[in-house]
Amino acid sequence: MDLLTSLRKAIDYMEEHLLMDIDAEKVADAVYLSPFYFQRCFKIVTGYSVGEYLRNRRLYLAGLDVIRGRNAGEKISGGEENGKGKEKIIDLAYKYGYESPESFTKAFTRFHGLSPRELRVQPHQIKVFLPLIVEISVKGGSRMEFTIEKREAMKMIGFERIFSFESSYQEIPKFWQEFNRQYCRRDAECGMKEAAVMQTIAECIVGEFGVCVEGGTDMEHFRYYIAGAYQGGEIPDGMKVIEIPAGEWAKFKCRGAMPDALQTVNTRIFSEWIPGNTEFEIASHVTIEWYSDGDMNREDYESAIWIPVKRL
């Protein structure tokens, strides 16, 4: 099935299993998608990570339960009272997947802006979060420039960090800023270990690529590398080598200042190009960003995004 259909089926699956112990991996498996690309597409198309969506839907339903309890004359407590009120908040906490009444009440209050007890007396303040309807609408805009190229397997070396799908657009640019401050200053002083790292950075042109790879701490996270083409030899402390499989790649051109230009094209790839594509589908769990030399703040700065594909 195409990606758009898969996303719709994923939402249906989550709605049917909201009160069960499901995560991004289980949802992706249910619609036969890679968890890595499913998470990326879902976040870009809907604006929410899978974890956010599940959490928001559950807390909205919990709010309805609180209001229904009010209408039925039930007692809703934050857990500090004895008796039926305490049992009720415990029931809600466990029903919606929280380990304790305290963690449930904290999440509930953060979402609705009111505690369960406060919402009970102000039901009109409930925060509504209904099931999403996924539609792709492409109106105007510039034509996406891309080529399809075959490449042999590649080895890259670089610095690894784990990011969440939820905050990656904000956090990855900070990672690059740290890298530039630490390793790209001409006046930087370094000892023996740092010298080995600096030499590898220079020889392998670390910083030419940014690589996103499946496999973070859980399905809500992924690994990201500031990397260059590995030339062999000793791997300095703090650096890692990754292997990129051979295959065909869709290479999308980006023009403009970083990070906005690249993030804009990345969003269009996952919200416009991949959904409903009848010629190609995603082939493996990696995405590569390519950066040219020069000032990344220029309006004519060139970069690219490489997506592994296979023909349908």
H-run or E-run covering 302 = strand 302-311
Q: How confident is the model at residue 1 (pLDDT cuts 50, 70, 90)?
A: low
**pLDDT (0 to 100) of residue 108:** 97
**Mean pLDDT of the 135-155 span:** 77
**Mean pLDDT of the 17-29 span:** 93
Most confident of 122-136, 274-288, 290-304: 290-304
Mean pLDDT, all residues of the chain? 87
Report residue 90 as tokens. Answer: 């415990």
Look at residue 78 and tell me whether its pLDDT is greater than 90.
no
Look at residue 72 and tell me whether its pLDDT is greater than 50.
no
- DSSP assignment of 98-123, as one string? -SSHHHHHHHHHHHHSS-HHHHHH-G
Q: Whole-prediction pTM value? A: 0.77
Burial class from Cβ neighbours inside 10 Å (0-12, 13-18, 19+) for residue 77 reads buried
Q: How confident is the model at residue 85 (pLDDT cuts 50, 70, 90)?
A: very low
pLDDT digits (tens, 9 = 90+) for 224-265: 999 999 999 999 999 999 999 999 999 999 999 999 999 999
Higher pLDDT, 240 or 192: 240
Q: How confident is the model at residue 87 (pLDDT cuts 50, 70, 90)?
A: very low
H-run or E-run covering 217 = none
Q: Say which range, 58-72, 150-164, 179-193, 207-221, has the weakest mean pLDDT.
A: 179-193
Q: What is the CATH number of domain 3-125?
A: 1.10.10.60
CB-CB contact of 156 with 241 (8 Å)? yes
**Mean pLDDT of the 185-211 span:** 82
Q: How confident is the model at residue 100 (pLDDT cuts 50, 70, 90)?
A: very high
Count H helices, E strands: the chain? 10, 9
Report residue 310 as tokens. Answer: 């296979």
**Mean pLDDT of the 30-58 span:** 91
Cα–Cα dist 258/1, whole Å: 34
Cα–Cα dist 49/40, whole Å: 8
Q: How far is CA 134 from CA 3, 24, 58, 271, 280, in A?
A: 11, 17, 19, 11, 21
Report residue 297 as tokens. Answer: 């703040």
Same fold, 3-125 and 146-311: no
**pLDDT (0 to 100) of residue 93:** 93
CB-CB contact of 69 with 85 (8 Å)? no
Look at residue 84 and tell me whether its pLDDT is greater than 60.
no
Higher pLDDT, 88 or 201: 201
Pick the CATH number of 146-311 from 3.40.50.720, 1.10.443.10, 3.30.950.10, 3.20.80.10: 3.20.80.10
Percent of the chain residues past pLDDT 90, beyond the cut:
65
Report residue 75 as tokens. Answer: 């007692």
Q: Could you state, in order of their start, the residue ranges of all structural domains in the chain?
A: 3-125, 146-311
